[in-house]
Chains A and B, each alone.
Chain A
């Protein structure tokens, strides 16, 4: 009997070892310009020392999924090995004329528009393939948008864990409490990806909830 228990314990420890080493595909979702790439860059710089992608004021700067593999986050004695997937921003419309406001030529605007639509489709398809998600919201904007609700609804239906990130709290008109009020059933972490504020709390929440 003792030998059997020892065998079970040994098997359990092996299983736990594999579980701890599990690699999590973490998707960074949100609307365009919510700060997904700024956050992906911050996380990657903190743990790998290299950025993920380019940040821009022009919407839909990220038009293909940008990956960073084996980003190992450590916090509170926990460790999580993640593949960061910085997703293109999801929106229900893409108007090439919006890009021209930022100085793009009509040809550049059309090209960007076409690439942006493909990126949105890709990001939606990946909702089925991520293991966990960060939904990044701009704290200065209304959090109760259909894009946010659709992303959350799709993740929830697939039982994929999600953490809400209230970004841009460094701005004077930020109201992160609105995000907490709108989605009380989810963990919400208030951060500024740009200024690197409160990232430690985010890492603790990630390792606690997704590990």
Chain B
């Protein structure tokens, strides 16, 4: 039987109005519903750690967690900060999916490879 995988590409505009908990809740809700998200605006390292915390609070026998990978997360340099302050984009993306679906994420500094499939134990 053919397995369906839903991948949702989220524009930066959709998440730009969501801050902190609201943003994390939005991501968690989608991922727990079995979606793989590709965020145009990458999560910061703070947001990644908040997302891992939120994930751990939801781990159960039915939801074992997430796989996540970010390219081009925030850096502390002045150039990046200025570009963001002026509303510009610094490049990058974040991919997040439920670990039951995303079996493995392999990355290097320039690319992300995501291996998805039915990862349930039989």
Contact = CB atoms under 8 A, between A and B. Distances in A.
A153 B45 contact: yes
Contact of A149 (B53, B56, B70): B70
- Dominant SS among interface residues on chain A: helix
A111 interface: no
B99 A117 contact: no
Interface string B71-95: 0011010000000000000000000
B56 A121 contact: yes
B54 to A, nearest CB: 9
A110 B61 contact: yes
A141 to B, nearest CB: 12
Contacts, number: 78
Interface string A106-122: 00001001000110110
Interface size class of A (residues with CB under 8 A): 20 to 34
A94 B61 contact: no
B46 A157 contact: yes
B52 A124 contact: yes
B67 A92 contact: yes
Interface of A: 90-97, 110, 113, 117-118, 120-121, 124-125, 127, 142, 144, 146, 149-150, 152-154, 156-157
Interface of B: 44-46, 48-49, 52-53, 55-57, 59, 61, 64-70, 73-74, 76, 99, 105-109, 121
